[in-house]
Amino acid sequence: MTRQTTSEPCQDPLSETEVADYLRAHPDFFARHLSLLEVLRLPHPTHGAVSLVERQTAVLRERNRQTERKLKELIQLARENEQLSANLHRLGLGLLQADSLDSVLATTREQLCDEFKADEVVVRLIGTEAAGAPYASPADDPGLAHFSGLFEHRRPICGRAERAQLDWLFGGEVADSLGSAVLIPLVDTQPLGVLALGSRDTARFHPSMGTLFLGYLGELVGAAVSNRLGRT
């Protein structure tokens, strides 16, 4: 008994002539397969124009421009992060030298306006320990209901804050002038207050901003406030 087997016939590879004929019949082939232009190597004649070589050169030049733009963006971002780090360092030193709660608040407002280019800076504290301090509110202040999510998630909020939040933080007249804001929760074992930065520029603070350094800022100010309130 014999066993018959079947197999698919092997397909011969295309010849150079067939490849050339196909490309001649489809002159837009490389326009639809631009990635091939990056790996092809073609000699350029001494006279006349070779469109494929020119197209290949144009593609590579555009990719170089894109790479250069990305590199410049990364360099700019690195410089901005370096500046932010330096600003936080100076603020930290200033808070260490502050010998009272009023001094902590004044240092925070002064340096954030100067170094972080904010038009308005306010620190609203809550709780009985903060009584008598500027912008202090009791723990049962109804306005705190607008910040429940801020304290729950413990993350800064950037961009357009709610009008009720801005009114509670800055007051109605100042709130009218603000185009964008940052709200930063100050938290110890319990909420200490809110640090808010406001700008008349609608693009100064926006939702796509990174919040890493803003989180560090909140921790610095929160620690200084907690220390002056005698909670540490």
pLDDT digits (tens, 9 = 90+) for 69-118: 888 888 877 887 788 788 888 988 999 999 888 999 999 999 998 887 88
One-letter amino acid at 54 equals E
Overall pTM > 0.75? no
Q: Choose between 218 and 47: higher pLDDT.
A: 218
Structure tokens at 30: 């490389």
Identify whether the C-beta of residue 124 lies closer than 8 Å to the C-beta of residue 193: yes
pLDDT at 182: 93
The three-class DSSP label of residue 138 is coil
pLDDT at 11: 63
Whether residue 141 is predicted with pLDDT greater than 80 in this model: the reply is: yes
Which among 111, 81, 117 is positioned nearest to 94, based on CA atoms?
111
Which among 51, 88, 42 is positioned nearest to 184, based on CA atoms?
88
Tell me the mean pLDDT in the region 25-35: 78
pLDDT at 195: 95
pLDDT at 1: 46
Q: Where are the beta strands (DSSP E) in 88-175?
A: 120-126, 136-137, 157-159
Average pLDDT over the chain, rounded to whole?
82
pLDDT at 73: 82
Tell me the mean pLDDT in the region 34-52: 61
Q: How many CA atoms lie within 13 A of 127 on its CB side?
A: 17
Q: Choose between 79 and 6: higher pLDDT.
A: 79
Q: Choose between 88 and 44: higher pLDDT.
A: 88
Q: What percent of the chain has pLDDT over 70?
A: 84
